[in-house]
């Protein structure tokens, strides 16, 4: 089964499996723009702990089913090369590096 990816990130296998097992979430996933899908993927893969990643994969499915189109309260994908990171995001990232 082919499931759409994002603009920068490819769909990881764990997220693909979760979306494949939920037809409603999959339909909503396919209705997203490539940029919105990219943000969900980046939000899922940018964590450090395995448990957090599993939680994010589960939340993608549940939050899509709840009508969310992008991850809430997240800075956005810092891996995109087609646009510069905003000054506010740079400030947040610099504070995180110090901690």
| Per-residue pLDDT tens digits of the chain, which is 99 residues long | 899 999 889 999 999 999 999 999 999 999 999 989 999 999 999 889 999 999 999 999 999 999 999 987 666 666 666 667 667 667 766 776 665
pLDDT at 64: 98
pTM given for the model: 0.79
pLDDT at 56: 96
pLDDT at 98: 65
Give the contacts of 9 (CB within 8 A, at least 6 positions apart). Answer: 38, 41, 42, 45, 77, 79
DSSP string, 6-66: -SSPPPPHHHHHHHHT-HHHHHHHHHS-HHHHHHHHHHHHT-SSHHHHHHHHHHHHHHHHT
pLDDT at 93: 66
């Amino acid at each position: 089964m082919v499931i759409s990816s994002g603009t920068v990130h490819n769909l990881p296998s764990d997220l693909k499996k979760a979306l494949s097992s939920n037809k409603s979430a999959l339909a909503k996933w396919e209705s997203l723009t490539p940029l919105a899908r990219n943000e969900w993927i980046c939000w899922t893969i940018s964590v450090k702990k395995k448990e957090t990643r599993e939680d994010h994969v589960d939340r993608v499915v549940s939050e899509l089913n709840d009508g969310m189109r992008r991850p809430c309260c997240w800075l956005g994908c810092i891996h995109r090369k087609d646009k510069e990171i905003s000054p506010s995001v740079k400030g947040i990232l610099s504070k995180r590096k110090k901690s």
